[in-house]
Structure 1
Amino acid sequence: MTAPSPSLWLRLKRLSLVTQIIIGLIAGIALALFAPEVAKSTAFIGKVFVAALKAVAPILVFVLVMASIANHKHGQETHIRPILFLYLLGTFAAAVVAVVASTLFPSSLVLATHDVAVTAPGGISEVLQSLLLSVVDNPVSALMNANFIGILAWAIGMGVAIRHAGDTTREVLGDVSNGVTLIVRLVIRFAPLGIFGLVASTLATSGFGALIGYVHLLAVLLGCMLFVALVMNPVIVFWKLRRNPYPLVITCLRESGITAFFTRSSAANIPVNLELSKRLGLHEDTYSVSIPLGATINMAGAAITITVLTLAAVHTLGIAVDIPTAILLSVVAAICACGASGVAGGSLLLIPLACSLFGIPSEIAMQVVAVGFIIGVLQDSAETALNSSTDVLFTAAACLGEDERAQRLA
């Protein structure tokens, strides 16, 4: 007598999470194509999944960072400094790629009046002031509003203070961290269903008809992001590890980039990156700080968006700008983007700032922002995927590179 074959549900459960997400992606596309009205009703599923990720991310970062610092053993090395260097290097390299691409393949925009209600920063000083105010934010307010700069500041402060507490207190904090991590893993298990709802509803509602008029601009934007993800970042990782970088690059893109592409939120993808860092065997003391920090300041995708759209406006208006000046001003704007990175379409809000550096008035700059919102269904998704996957990629590269360096010196 032969054993009964396993049910379809059991077969799906045995598949890896990435395979399940790809199945959800394909199912969402199929539903949007063949039953668009039904697909629109799945928007609620996607919203619930993204809301759950956003709900657990602040408390996870706060507890995990605090527990890691409180239980950090004296003499145990962390690698935050080289990770910060890689973040800055990656952002600068992305800006260079965007400037070169915009020079070789200049884009022109149809600048008309668009009624888009956004509040853009008035200058670099305003962005930096906002960033400083985020650091000293009330901890309850920081947790409620997902202000990760403020959350990190309070978590680090509390972690340092609790290091001097008794062993029992630190053990309890470690147990709380494990409990929150378990909840996060449960939420992530629903990623295939959440991706299904997001894809089906987005395609059925927006489609890609609105993007036809911006094919050239999108090609430059997405081409830059693909080049950075598949060429520039691997070069940086190879420089750090001195070995084939693509297994690590592909792993990060597959397991972090896919979810980030559809959630379109670096904050929502923090739990995914923390889980991936753990599976890669990285130092918890390092990635518990570098991942949420990267979600706020590692802005390679934003550097590309700001630079390409700003230089498209520059080209449309016939303004002559030399390449070194374009690189310098684009990098300054991209670094300042950390002040608006927690907002949906945060990089777009920095375009008026970058345009003002080229003498472009705010009335025209806001029209460029409107173009950004029109193409945002792809631009923001690809930008978030690049930003978020690069967070874990550079964290892994720095940790593995420093470990191998220590072994050679030992």
Structure 2
Amino acid sequence: MKFKIGLLPRIILAIALGVLIGSFAPEWMARIFATFTAVFGNFLNFVVPLIILGFIAPGIAKLGKGSGKLLGLATGFAYASTIVAGILAFFAASSILPNFMEKGSMSGVDDPAESLATSFIDMPMEPVFGVMTALILAFLLGIGMASTGSKTMFSFFEEFQSIIEKVITYVIIPLLPFHIFGIFANMAYGGAVAKILSLFAVVFVLILILHWVMLVLQYSAAGAMTKKNPFFLLKTMLPAYFTALGTQSSAATIPVTVRQARKTGANERVVDFAVPLFATIHLSGSTITLVSCSIGVLFLSGQTPSFTSFLPFIFMLGVTMIAAPGVPGGAVMAALGLLEVMLGFDPTMIALMIALYMAQDSFGTATNVTGDGALAMIVDRFANGKKV
């Protein structure tokens, strides 16, 4: 039987080896690592607009199919839950993280001329179009396909989505540990890694706490509407939580989520409709992770984001989560464009963001699917017996 190391252990190993080897690597070796990270980073910049177009356009188009008012209710509650999760994460992270880290401690990392090794080659990969162009085009085409019922274009974008998903699954995800290794080796070579690693521990603990706070809020709302004990409901959904921890996929956990959501007493037809939909459009756990990690990275870079400047990012993140492909790390891949355009992330910050996110991706996915059960109950309560 072939032994396979999971993505999370590979990322942890990549960080550890990067710190270890980068601490004593000669300049020529550090430049080799820097060359790989530079080329791979350019490739990521090239692929991001294609990810946005390939997943948002058909994702929005799929929302045009379904059961009218029930679809609108499910979509509205999923979006509201995601926004609440983002706002909760913003206030918690912006209040707590500054107490555990030094503002601007990563500022020196951004300038390779100061301490970091530089790439041997310069291989620019210009994107076909910009991130914002991809977003606008995806919205226009997605809404257009939904309103016209276009089968030809929808078929094209489904196949395009399949191609991009394979690029993520078989190229980007396997190479991510090497990219992260190169980033941390270079930071260790430049002497800046210790302060960066402190961010991981603090953010990881904060995110786990916020995940469970969000689940309690979701099930408290569902329990109040159905007059059931929220903690009993949450206990009922725990098998879905632990299944998602292992699979790291909302889609792969759908059968367990449906089974457990039915046990909460929600209408079976509502559950059968809502849970697969929520697996695609409801990512409150992933949103908490993305917002918390991005605030941590920004603070280390010397910036203090305000709520008014961050709120548009949260609103856009709620929409962009529709684009998250069903592979480990899909949510952060879909959000890279927003991080770059709306928050000004550079390649080093994006690499740190990916590493932070991937280190706890399974916990975010588990929170997503567990929250789907609460939303299914709320939708059932509002649907009030309408036909599915």
Q: With the length of structure 2 as denominator, give the TM-score of the two structures.
A: 0.57
Structure 1 residues 224 and 341, CA gap change in structure 2 (3 angstroms): farther
Q: Is the 8 A contact 2:79 2:318 kept in 1?
A: no
What is the Cα deviation at residue 315 of structure 1?
0.9
Structure 1 residues 129 and 305, CA gap change in structure 2 (3 angstroms): farther
Match of 2:322 in 1: 338
Match of 2:356 in 1: 372
Match of 2:371 in 1: 390
Structure 1 residues 218 and 43, CA gap change in structure 2 (3 angstroms): closer
State the identity as a percent.
17
What is the Cα deviation at residue 268 of structure 1?
0.4
Structure 1 residues 147 and 338, CA gap change in structure 2 (3 angstroms): farther
Matches within 5 A, 1:1-400: 41=3, 79-106=70-97, 122-127=130-135, 129-130=137-138, 132=141, 136-138=153-155, 145=162, 213=198, 214-230=200-216, 232-252=217-237, 254-372=238-356, 376-377=358-359, 379-400=360-381
What is the Cα deviation at residue 381 of structure 1?
0.8
SS in 1 for 2:272: helix
Q: Indicate the larger mover: 279-288 or 269-278.
A: 279-288
Q: Is the 8 A contact 1:333 1:350 kept in 2?
A: no
What is the Cα deviation at residue 239 of structure 1?
5.0
Match of 1:191 in 2: none
User: Unpaired segments of 5 or more residues in structure 2?
Assistant: 7-61, 111-115, 120-125, 147-152, 166-195
Q: Is the 8 A contact 2:321 2:335 kept in 1?
A: no
Deviations 1:105-160 (A, max 9, x none): 12658557899xxx999535524645756975429966994999xxxxxxxxxxxx
SS in 2 for 1:360: coil
Q: With the length of structure 1 as denominator, give the TM-score of the two structures.
A: 0.55
What is the Cα deviation at residue 385 of structure 1?
0.4
User: Unpaired segments of 5 or more residues in structure 1?
Assistant: 1-37, 45-64, 149-210
What is the Cα deviation at residue 286 of structure 1?
2.5
Structure 1 residues 338 and 288, CA gap change in structure 2 (3 angstroms): same
Structure 1 residues 401 and 147, CA gap change in structure 2 (3 angstroms): farther
CA RMSD of aligned residues (A): 4.2
Structure 1 residues 128 and 341, CA gap change in structure 2 (3 angstroms): farther
Q: Is the 8 A contact 1:299 1:335 kept in 2?
A: no
Runs of 4 or more consecutive aligned structure 1 residues displaced over 6 Å after TM superposition: 112-115
Structure 1 residues 225 and 362, CA gap change in structure 2 (3 angstroms): same
Match of 2:52 in 1: none
Q: Is the 8 A contact 1:303 1:331 kept in 2?
A: no
CA distance in 1, matches of 2:136, 2:157: 22
Match of 1:190 in 2: none
Aligned residues: 271
